[in-house]
Amino acid sequence: MSCAETEILLHALLDGELDVGHARDVETHLQGCPRCAAQFRAHREMQQAMSAAQLRYTAPMSLRRRIEMTLPSAPQRTSSRRSVLKGFVMGTALSTAMAASLVIAVIRTDPDQRVLGDVVSAHVRSLQGDHLTDVQTSDQHTVKPWFNGKLDIAPPVVDLTAQGFTLLGGRLDYIDGKTVASIVYRRRTHVINLFVTQGAVSEAQGARLETMQGFNIRRWSAQGLEFFAISDINADELQEFADKFEAAFHSSSET
Amino acid sequence: MLDRPRRHGLAVAWKAGGGIMAGDGSDAHQDKARRFRDAALPHLNDAYTLARFLLRDAADAEDAVQECYLRALRYFDTFRGTDIKPWLFAILRNICRGEFARRSRVTLAIDDTTDDADDAAPLWQEEQASPETEMVRQWDAETIRRLVAELPDPFREAIVLREINDLSYSEIADVVGVPIGTVMSRLARARSMLRKAWIAEEGLPT
């Protein structure tokens, strides 16, 4: 696929409008073409910024009233609706299946799972193409100021190279409708993304280890921030990473 | 490659005029009004948003949306689709572009030069961006709305329908009345133009 085609089709990819075959073609091109990949990322960032910004207007109440007044008043007979409900309550095989699918829908939209799903997607994305880091350096004093002004939090950046986790750099990513910091580490050949986002102070939760799509995710919160460390390294090593990060974070914030 | 456009029965005959419903208060009449209310009113904020972006004026947008709902109720019988939103938007867009624009305080420079202009010009040839300039700044909603409002009509319309009203390509094609390929190329242009304005905004004194 050529750059000219990709320049257009990457938008269809962004919008989820491509069939599987063409999506793969575009992705393959993006992996081999830094210029198109940069464009794709820039457009994706802009799309995410737009969706996060709540650009929709709310219709004035006066307009709503004016329109409602032009509609003939609704009669208070709801018989047709009631009979629909009755059919549902009577419990046909269809409605049972429907109820089951509703339950699945509810489970799938559990916000916690959605956040974890976002974490996994962001991690997988970071490993594709060449967008692991926006600022690439092993110097924590370069990574930390890079986040300044890009986020409303100051993510802690600690160098754990001596402890076996090499700092690769930092990146902005997007999780649960928010722009978050990702601090990227390497353990041997494995990449660890540490996502840092503003934590919900009221519901401080203890550290948890979760597994999703084969990735280990360790999440914890500290000092008003929420952390998600994700990698394909084993759970013990991820635990070790989190412990060392926490230890270094605490000692650095105390001095 | 792309999904085929879905047809929403957009051949709305409202231009032909015709009497408004006789207000006879019959059951059928009441039933239609209720069905219309249930189907169309949930989209009021979306419709108002589209009108705000197309007309760039709050008072005009209110009038256009009210007119849209009046016409939509009148021709609700002709609606044959499953999703009323694109149908409603097509009516609203016609109002915004048509007679409403003529008496509007805001003069809309409508691009009726088909789509040659869209396709002939190449996309912005962007320089190889450094990681630093690749990042787009997070503007607040008011700034983004202004940047979008400054886009030329066909591009503003495409990006509002996609990014803000959340329509699919085929739905946009139905609303605007162009092939899906044109929707896609307009979106590509719209995003490139918006991105350029977005970056230029950073250089401006705040």
pLDDT (tens digit per residue) in B38-82: 889 889 999 999 999 999 999 999 999 999 999 999 889 888 877
Confidence of residue A20 (pLDDT cuts 50, 70, 90): confident
Whether A58 and chain B come into contact, CB under 8 Å, resolves to yes
CATH of the domain at A211: 3.30.200.100
For residue B105, pLDDT beyond 50: no
Question: Comparing A189 with B142, which gets the higher pLDDT?
Answer: B142
Pick the most confident of A75-79, A247-251, B30-34, B54-58.
B54-58
Confidence of residue B147 (pLDDT cuts 50, 70, 90): very high
Confidence of residue B17 (pLDDT cuts 50, 70, 90): very low
Query: Could A8 and B184 be called an inter-chain contact, meaning their C-beta atoms sit closer than 8 Å?
Result: yes
Co-location of A224 and A147 in the same domain: yes
Co-location of A118 and A236 in the same domain: yes
For residue A93, pLDDT beyond 50: no
In a domain? residue A62 = no
In a domain? residue A94 = no
Q: What is the domain partition of chain B in residue ranges?
A: 26-102, 116-203
Pairing, β A208-212 against β A215-222: antiparallel
User: How do residues B108-133 score in pLDDT, each as one tens digit?
Assistant: 444 434 444 444 444 544 444 444 44
Co-location of A118 and A23 in the same domain: no
B-interface mutation test, from A3, A57, A151, A178, most B Cβ less than 10 A away: A57
Question: Comparing A113 with B79, which gets the higher pLDDT?
Answer: B79
Query: In which residue are the tokens 């339950």 written?
Result: A103
- Compute the distance between CA of residue B79 and CA of residue A232 in angstroms, rounded to an integer: 52
Confidence of residue B20 (pLDDT cuts 50, 70, 90): very low
The Cα of A198 is separated from the nearest Cα of chain B by a number of Å equal to 16
pTM of the model: 0.53
Model ipTM?
A: 0.74
Average pLDDT over residues A178-188: 89
For residue B5, pLDDT beyond 80: no
Average pLDDT over residues B175-200: 92
- Compute the distance between CA of residue A44 and CA of residue A57 in angstroms, rounded to an integer: 23
For residue A191, pLDDT beyond 70: yes
Whether A35 and chain B come into contact, CB under 8 Å, resolves to yes
Please calculate the CA angle B200-B201-B204 and round it to the nearest 5 degrees: 100
User: How do residues A36-76 score in pLDDT, each as one tens digit?
Assistant: 999 999 999 999 899 888 899 999 999 988 898 877 654 44
Query: Could A8 and B41 be called an inter-chain contact, meaning their C-beta atoms sit closer than 8 Å?
Result: no
For residue A26, pLDDT beyond 60: yes
What confidence score (pLDDT) does residue A185 get?
93
Which CATH number describes the domain made up of B26-102? 1.10.1740.10
Query: Could A49 and B136 be called an inter-chain contact, meaning their C-beta atoms sit closer than 8 Å?
Result: yes
What confidence score (pLDDT) does residue A108 get?
41
Average pLDDT, chain B: 76
Q: Which amino acid is at A101?
A: S
Query: Could A134 and B128 be called an inter-chain contact, meaning their C-beta atoms sit closer than 8 Å?
Result: no
What confidence score (pLDDT) does residue B101 get?
56
- Compute the distance between CA of residue A81 and CA of residue A12 in angstroms, rounded to an integer: 40
User: How do residues A130-166 score in pLDDT, each as one tens digit?
Assistant: 678 888 777 888 888 888 888 888 899 998 888 889 8
Return residues 77-106 of B near A (CB < 8 Å).
none
Pick the most confident of A168-177, A206-215, B80-89, B148-157.
B148-157
- Compute the distance between CA of residue A220 and CA of residue A227 in angstroms, rounded to an integer: 5
The Cα of A137 is separated from the nearest Cα of chain B by a number of Å equal to 13
Contacts of B148 in chain A (CB under 8 A): 55
Confidence of residue B135 (pLDDT cuts 50, 70, 90): low
Number of domains in chain A: 2
Co-location of A233 and A118 in the same domain: yes
For residue A181, pLDDT beyond 90: yes
For residue B204, pLDDT beyond 80: no
Are domains B26-102 and B116-203 of this chain identical in fold? no
From its phi and psi, is residue A129 left (phi > 0), alpha (psi between -120 and 50) or beta?
A: left
Q: DSSP alpha helices (H): ranges in B11-125?
A: 27-40, 44-55, 58-74, 84-97, 99-102, 116-120
Instruction: Identify the architecture of domain B116-203 in CATH.
Output: Orthogonal Bundle (1.10)
Domain that holds residue A240: 111-254
- Given strand A135-136, what is the order of strands in its sheet? A135-136, A166-175, A178-187, A190-198, A225-231, A215-222, A208-212
Three-state SS at A196: strand
Contacts of B67 in chain A (CB under 8 A): none
In a domain? residue A231 = yes
Cα B63 vs. chain centroid, distance in angstroms? 16
